[in-house]
Amino acid sequence: MEPEDLDLLYRIENDASIWHVGSNNVPYSRYALHDYIAHASGDIYTDKEVRMMIDNEQGETVGIVDLVNFSPQHQRAEIGIVIKNGCRNLGYANAAIRKIMAYAHDIVHLHQLYAIVEVNNQISINLFESLGFSQGICLKEWTFNGDTYTDALVMQIFLKSEESMG
């Protein structure tokens, strides 16, 4: 991440409509996000996460993909992705996940990645399945949007070889 990513990061992190699928439940100040960008080392072993901005062919940032909950001991991490409204269903998520899978395999030498996807998010389920992820356990009433609880699936891929990465 670069300082110029602050505005997009601010918009995404403070979009209350997607808070229920992550762990964020309060807005972040610009100062807090600026400080995060300034102090993130970009090293997954130091920060236990890595966040990468997704740019289109014109150099415009269209989203964020990250690896979080990194466990060096178990060689796994959780993958998360957010694509801006108006930029969805254009192939950016597919391309970004492919790249971060290659990074996880080739650079960090992870054994597996997983994503937690709400059962009613068929677009994301299809995306992860198309990239070789398989559906694992169903986490009952895993997310809460303020009104209702929703089940979520653990989508998982083992990064054993190039074939497993689509």
Q: How far apart are CA 18 and CA 43, in angstroms?
A: 26
Least confident stretch, 22-31, 83-92, 110-119: 22-31
The pair of three-digit structure tokens given for residue 42, joined into one six-digit string: 């970009």
Under 8 Å CB-to-CB from 120, ≥6 apart: which residues?
150
Taking the C-alpha atoms of residue 31 and residue 83, their distance in angstroms, rounded to an integer, is 23
Contact 51, 66 (CB under 8 A): yes
Residue range 45-68: average pLDDT? 88
Determine if residue 52 is left, alpha or beta; phi over 0 gives left, psi from -120 to 50 gives alpha, anything else beta.
beta
The first and second tokens of residue 144, run together, are 């809460």
**Confidence check: pLDDT of 70 > 90:** yes
Determine the residue type at 19. W
| CB within 8 Å of 166: residues ≥ 6 apart | 98, 101, 130, 131, 132
> Which is more confidently placed, 31 or 108?
108
Percent of the chain with pLDDT over 90: 53
* Average per-residue pLDDT for the chain: 84
